[in-house]
Structure formats: C-alpha cells, structure tokens
A and B are shown apart, each in its own frame.
Chain A
Amino acid sequence: MFGVIFARETGFGVMVGRALYPVSAPKPHALPSTVVRDDEPLLVDSARSGNTSAFEELVARYEDKIFRLTSNITGNREDAEDAMQDAFLKAYAHLKDFHGESRFYTWLVRIAANEALMRLRKRRPNHFSLDQPIEGDSDLMPRELEEWSPNPEQLYAKSEIDNIVSAFVSQLEDDYRIVLVLRDVEELSTQETANALGISLSAVKSRLLRARLKLREKLSRHFRQGALN
C-alpha cells in the first residue's frame, strides 16, 4: 500500500492516517466538502520537493474518485481507465507547475476532466456542446410535486441509492452530466467548473440548473411518500 510506504518513509503516519478531516469547499459552493482532507498541502509540498512516496499517497487517496470522475464523463470503462492513468502520469510530470493557486485535488480534477473529455469527443465528434446557449425554459417546470418521506435515505440501503444516482448520471445528456459531476460530485465551484471546461459561467449555471432539477425529478419517483408500496 502506498499509504503504508509513505508513513514509514516520512514519519507522517499520524498526520496522513486514514481519518477524514473534511474542509469546506471555496465559496460560492454552499455544501461542505467531502473530498479534500486538510493534510493535503503537506503531502503536495512533500511530493513537489521530490518525495515520490508522498505523490504515491496522493494517488492512493484519490484514485477511486478520479476513476469515478473519468467514468462519469466518458461513460466507457476502457476510456475511463486510460484517462485516469494518463491524468495521474501528467500530474506527476507537471507537479512542479502546481503552485497552490487552487487545491491540489481541484488541479487534478481539471487534468482528469480534460483527459476524459478528449476521449469522449473522440468517440462522439460533434455530438455535444458545452457552451451553446440553451433555448427557452419550458423544460424547467417540475412535474413531480409530491412530498417525500421524512427520511427518504432510510427507505433504501446506501448501495441502492448509489445505484439509483449512478444510473441517473449515466443517462443524463452529456453536457448536463459533465457540469453536474464537476460541480456537485467533485465539488468544484461554479467558477472552477467554468475554468475547467473553458466555458462561460452562464453556460455552467444553465446546465447545472437543469441537471439538478432532473435529479430531483428522478429521486422524487423513489423518495415520495409511499413510493415503496
């Protein structure tokens, strides 16, 4: 295990243990971050000064999440694996160019998103546009208007909810899916999402709004009172 190697070689065992210390995502994200731990800058500094075990610890820490990201974007297992591997190799090669202007994880997400998008565009040339304006708002009005159960998450096992969410994400239109994943799964801010995709803030916001409303509609079918009866 990379984590074990790092702890042994650097003596940071206590600091880089597996305990989670969530820190808040930068504003305007209103939700608490579940992604980044507060010892990350320490590891990154160590990796930048040549400690390869520190970089390996970062890989071990984020590989599942980066694979989820590349899977969510490409929708193709082979592409997702290649994009993830190339993202980590590129991050390693360009570690010296990371100067801490953003969180390391955000930087890594940008690299991985680019790798994944490149592969998606190759598979579906001219199939989707991330920055074309969305015409009209007739699609916005909610159809599901029913109260949810008081504790909807308790209606299902966690793995069932994960499956529902995963199926929803995979069926979403490409441009909505990519924005939603970067913003609400990877917890990039709206501005960071726009920067990562090279599109305007308004393009991010219009897609995010629609994706979130669709997510609510989807979950309503499962979470409304009496949904399991």
Chain B
Amino acid sequence: MNCKGVIREISNYIDGDLDPVVKQELERHLEHCEDCTMIVDQTRKSIKVLCDSRPVSLSAEVRARLHAALRRKIDHNAS
C-alpha cells in the first residue's frame, strides 16, 4: 500500500472497520512512513477534539419556551 492508499483508508482504519488483510498492509506501510503515521495520529486526535467539544448552553428564554411547549403537550394528552 502506498501513501495515497493509506489516506483513502484512514477513516476506516481509525474506526476499526478495515478488512484484516488491508489493515495489515496499511500497518506495514506505517512502519516505515513517518508522514502517514503522523497523519493517522493527528486525524485521530482531531476526531477526539471534535468529540470533546462542549455544546453551547441554551438561552434561558429558549429553554423556558421548550419546557412550556412540552408541558402544554403533556397537559393536553392528560386531559
């Protein structure tokens, strides 16, 4: 496998979603290619940074509107 092949499969590799033979080929390439090893590592870290990003809190007004709408729905269903 060459560098282009690694880049094409990088996402599947990180997800553990590669055929064992392809995975072995990819890892054999990584053993001697510093650039690809770095890209795999940085891509994995990038996903983690994205995954760890915090949601913005809802404003009190939107939160109150949501809860009021839900309460109306619950009361309507109960009546």
Of A31, A147, A148, which contacts B51 at CB under 8 A? A31
Given contacts A84-B66, A89-B70, contact A219 B49 (CB under 8 A): yes
B21 to chain A minimum Cβ distance, whole angstroms, is: 17
Contact status A56-B7, CB under 8 Å: no
Chain B, interface SS category: helix
A residues whose Cβ falls under 8 Å from a Cβ of B: 2, 27-31, 34, 52, 55-56, 59, 63-65, 67-68, 71, 81, 84-85, 88-89, 92-93, 137, 140-142, 145, 147-148, 152-153, 158, 161-162, 165-166, 169, 180, 184-185, 187, 190, 205, 208-209, 212-213, 215-216, 219-220, 223
Of B17, B56, B70, which contacts A92 at CB under 8 A? B70
Contact status B73-A71, CB under 8 Å: no
When chains A and B are docked, how far (Å) is the Cα of A29 from the Cα of B4? 23
Q: Which residues from chain B contact A2 at a C-beta distance below 8 Å?
A: 67
When chains A and B are docked, how far (Å) is the Cα of A215 from the Cα of B16? 19
Q: Which residues from chain A contact B45 at a C-beta distance below 8 Å?
A: 148, 152, 219
When chains A and B are docked, how far (Å) is the Cα of A209 from the Cα of B9? 8
Contact status A212-B11, CB under 8 Å: yes
Contact status B11-A140, CB under 8 Å: no
Does B28 make an interface contact (CB < 8 A)?
A: no
B58 to chain A minimum Cβ distance, whole angstroms, is: 5
Does B46 make an interface contact (CB < 8 A)?
A: yes
Contact status B65-A85, CB under 8 Å: yes
Contact status B66-A85, CB under 8 Å: yes
Q: Which of B53, B58, B74 has the most CB of A within 10 A?
A: B53
- Please tell me the number of chain B residues within 8 Å of chain A, measured between CB atoms: 38
When chains A and B are docked, how far (Å) is the Cα of A46 from the Cα of B67? 19
Contact status A88-B42, CB under 8 Å: no
Contact status B51-A209, CB under 8 Å: no
When chains A and B are docked, how far (Å) is the Cα of A220 from the Cα of B46? 9
Given contacts A67-B56, A148-B42, A161-B49, contact A142 B16 (CB under 8 A): no
Q: What are 27 A-B residue pairs whose CB atoms fall within 8 Å in the complex?
A: A30-B16, A31-B48, A63-B58, A88-B66, A89-B70, A140-B7, A140-B8, A141-B4, A141-B7, A145-B39, A147-B38, A148-B45, A162-B54, A165-B50, A166-B56, A184-B47, A184-B50, A185-B53, A187-B51, A190-B15, A208-B11, A209-B12, A212-B10, A212-B47, A215-B43, A216-B43, A219-B45
A96 to chain B minimum Cβ distance, whole angstroms, is: 11
Of A28, A92, A165, which contacts B74 at CB under 8 A? A92
Q: Which of B39, B43, B55 has the most CB of A within 10 A?
A: B55
B47 to chain A minimum Cβ distance, whole angstroms, is: 5
When chains A and B are docked, how far (Å) is the Cα of A2 from the Cα of B63? 11
